[in-house]
Copies of this chain bind each other. A is one copy, B any other.
Amino acid sequence: MACGSCCVELTSCVFEYDTPRIVLIKSTKVGLMNRVVQLMILAYVIGWVFVWEKGYQEFDSVVSSVTSKVKGIAVTNTSELGLKVWDVADYIVPAQEENAFFVMTNVIITQNQKQGLCPEFPDDTTRCKSDSDCVKGYVGTHSNGFQTGKCVAFDNSSEKTCQVFAWCPVENDTAVPKPAFLKDAENFTVLIKNNIWYPKFNFSKRNILSNVSTAYLKQCVYNRFTDPFCPIFRLGSIVSEAGQDFQDMAVTGAVMGIQIRWDCNLDRRDSYCLPRYSFRRLDNREIDHDVSPGYNFRFAKYFKGETGVEMRTFIKAYGIRFDILVFGTAGKFDIIPTMINIGSGVALLGVATYLCDFIVLHILQKRNYYREKKYKYVEDYELGPNNNYGSQP
B97 touches A288 (CB 8 A): no
A350 contacts the other chain (CB 8 A): yes
A357 to chain B, nearest CB (A): 6
A40 contacts the other chain (CB 8 A): no
A43 contacts the other chain (CB 8 A): no
Which residues of chain A from 274 to 312 have any CB-CB distance to chain B below 8 Å in the complex?
A: 280, 282-284, 286, 288-292, 295, 297-305, 310-312
With a CB–CB cut-off of 8 A, which chain B residues contact A357? Answer: 2, 4, 19
B362 touches A25 (CB 8 A): no
A157 to chain B, nearest CB (A): 24
Query: Given A22-B376, A98-B323 in contact, is the A146-B85 Cβ separation under 8 Å?
Result: yes
Can you name the residue of chain B whose Cβ is closest to the Cβ of A184? B139
B343 touches A348 (CB 8 A): yes
Option from B16, B55, B146, B375 in Cβ contact (under 8 Å) with A31: B16
Selecting from A127-135, A175-183, A191-199, A244-252, the interface stretch reads: A191-199
A346 contacts the other chain (CB 8 A): yes
With a CB–CB cut-off of 8 A, which chain B residues contact A35? Answer: 14
Query: Given A28-B380, A63-B327 in contact, is the A18-B14 Cβ separation under 8 Å?
Result: no
A145 touches B97 (CB 8 A): no
A149 contacts the other chain (CB 8 A): no
Can you name the residue of chain B whose Cβ is closest to the Cβ of A376? B23
With a CB–CB cut-off of 8 A, which chain B residues contact A189? Answer: 141
A167 to chain B, nearest CB (A): 6
A16 touches B25 (CB 8 A): yes
A375 touches B22 (CB 8 A): yes
B95 touches A98 (CB 8 A): no
A176 to chain B, nearest CB (A): 16
A153 contacts the other chain (CB 8 A): no
A280 to chain B, nearest CB (A): 8
